[in-house]
Chains A and B, each alone.
Chain A
């Protein structure tokens, strides 16, 4: 399924986990649990050693995945081995995309990603000014390229993103790095307003951790919610006798249902309900 289709039928619930956190097999089970729990798109992190855009929760997940032996090649195997209905978006840092394969530049990575069925890319440290070669490779192999719009993104930068973006736009709900927060930021409304006339769907992320949050975000006009840290927290508790893989997977599925349910409720009471 394409990303456009994933957003087309309804609002989208977009969970994030780090591939291989804490092991290849655990992680497969966890991603598949999120899929069963109602994921419409899966953002799957390819761990990089210097994750400057992440908060401590996801950074720890990245460290666990790297310690568990995740590499770029294993990541592609991982995606190939996944049995999920939702399209997979790869979230990683530019150096891993740039270094992949024999020729330097993003093309070999995108070619491999397309071959294993990855639908799109999110690259938090790639500004639109430097995105030309990656955009070209994505066009060649049919991948979407998602950009993150921050509460501070305005003017020319916003226009450059508009030119390059496809699939959906990732609206960062607040300043800072990723991490679950207790409130829903007012900055979200302002950020959504700035991209209101973009044709691509708007998915809001950063700090969403309950069904109630998801409901309010969707009611505020978002087309989707991206949820990472609260799920990585659940993974972090796994891997011990007290928390066997099946229990962690069940909790992830349950949390996914809560978040998806909240989003659906938000759609019912939000502006979209009144639209024809």
Chain B
């Protein structure tokens, strides 16, 4: 697997290991295991990881020509179909990698946080597949808006621990999981869900997710005989983003676009401590959050803001340090799409291509809609996940809006809540 700058955990000024002292031994042990098993393929770890991703995960995922979108934009648009990965999202790449690594390390218990529930369900699947006990921390707000995912975790035999502090979303769940880990480091591995947190997590999660761009890069050459002009991926914490970009980073002819959640507004209410968006690359400031120095949505004092997005999976006040660095150096363009645009794109892709995307993914497609003229003649969009998990949200949010592209919503307005 990759890579070289993976060893010191610094990406320019970003990254590092800002964690309580009690966690440092776990971090050091994990760093050593990452270097041995992931970077050096000791005991054939990487071979087993790739084999299980093929047989259990269903890799490689297709790179599919999107006929209708290509015609609409007069551009060759290809979909990297991570929605077809087992579990319906890219999250399994990382979850299976880390649970397998935990086994190689001799750990006996898995814990994880989850926001939208995609990482939680992927971790629960991987833990069941590899016969490891697993507990998932999830904010109670997220539990309410992602009930089917909660049930999937339970079906796979994982415990789900509701987190009631703060607004009950992803950042509180991360804090709570770190607390658990601080008590249980000796026998427990914390499967973090994105390219965030202290080193080695950002580099390690990127390496597991980099299967996406490793395949996509090969597939673009097979299909079109050349590399694409642009790759688009949505960005919350940034794991599908880094996975889709990583192998293209050295290819300077390929433009990389990280599409963040613009939420309802890019402006910030400092008084209320609320940023009605999750665009930490576009609007955040350098700070330290959850173990790493990175771009963070924060007030003037450094208190972390409550972020917002219609898509729970993008709703996070920070972002991976490597992605922040790639934006600072100009290699990646940070752009954003608001809630309304993401909803429109959700309906558009569903109708035009027969692919119901995750609301997270829909952000990338709306950017394509708005800016296809500037993206060249060959564009790859990473379909990070499928949208089944978002249907209740989309019914509600669509019924509140007047979207010409949406199906007739009267039926759903009459039925009200619980239509599903």
- A residues with a Cβ closer than 8 A to B are 48-56, 59-60, 63, 66, 71-73, 93-100, 104, 124-127, 129-130, 147-154, 157, 172, 175-177
Contact = CB atoms under 8 A, between A and B. Distances in A.
B179 A149 contact: no
Nearest to A128: B21
Which of A56, A104, A127 counts the most B-chain CB atoms under 10 A from its CB? A127
A172 B23 CA distance: 12
Given A125-B18, A175-B22, A176-B22, A55 B287 contact: no
Contacts of B178: 52
Nearest to B179: A177
B24 A150 contact: yes
A53 B182 contact: yes
B303 interface: yes
A176 B183 CA distance: 4
Nearest to A74: B301
Interface size class of B (residues with CB under 8 A): 35 or more
Given A52-B20, A152-B24, A177-B183, 11 more contacts: A52-B178, A52-B290, A53-B22, A53-B182, A98-B287, A100-B302, A127-B24, A152-B25, A154-B25, A175-B183, A177-B20
A50 B301 contact: no
Contact of B21 (A48, A97, A124): A124
Main secondary structure, interface of B, reads mixed
A93 B290 CA distance: 11
Interface in B120-171: 165-166, 171
Given A95-B287, A98-B302, A52 B175 contact: yes
B204 interface: no
B301 A100 contact: yes
Nearest to B29: A152
B341 interface: no
Nearest to B171: A50
28 contacts: A48-B302, A52-B19, A53-B20, A55-B179, A60-B165, A72-B302, A96-B301, A96-B303, A98-B302, A99-B285, A99-B300, A99-B301, A100-B301, A125-B20, A126-B18, A127-B21, A127-B24, A147-B21, A148-B20, A149-B21, A152-B21, A153-B21, A175-B184, A175-B186, A176-B179, A176-B183, A177-B22, A177-B182
B280 to A, nearest CB: 14
A55 B185 CA distance: 16
Which of A50, A63, A94 counts the most B-chain CB atoms under 10 A from its CB? A50
Those 8 A-B pairs whose CB atoms lie nearest each other, nearest first: A99-B302, A176-B183, A53-B20, A152-B25, A95-B302, A150-B22, A150-B21, A95-B288
A175 B302 contact: no
B301 to A, nearest CB: 5
Contacts of B20: 52-53, 124-125, 148, 150, 177
B303 A125 contact: no
Nearest to B27: A127
A256 B301 CA distance: 32
B304 interface: yes
Nearest to A54: B179
Main secondary structure, interface of A, reads loop
Contact of B16 (A71, A97, A130): A130
Interface in B289-310: 289-291, 296, 298, 300-304
Interface in B170-214: 171, 175, 178-179, 182-186
B312 to A, nearest CB: 19
B305 to A, nearest CB: 8
B289 A172 contact: no
A95 B24 contact: no
Contacts of A50: 171, 175, 289-290, 304
A66 B303 contact: yes
A126 B183 CA distance: 19
B286 interface: yes
A63 B172 CA distance: 12
A169 to B, nearest CB: 11
Given A49-B304, A51-B175, A99-B302, A172 B22 contact: yes
A125 B182 contact: no
B17 interface: yes
Contacts of A97: 302
Contact of A125 (B185, B291, B304): B291
B206 to A, nearest CB: 22
Contact of B165 (A59, A73, A104, A176): A59
Contact of B301 (A55, A71, A176): A71
B349 to A, nearest CB: 35
A152 B171 CA distance: 26
A258 B373 CA distance: 74
A162 to B, nearest CB: 13
A99 B287 contact: yes
Contact of B18 (A55, A63, A94): A94
B412 to A, nearest CB: 37
A172 B183 CA distance: 12
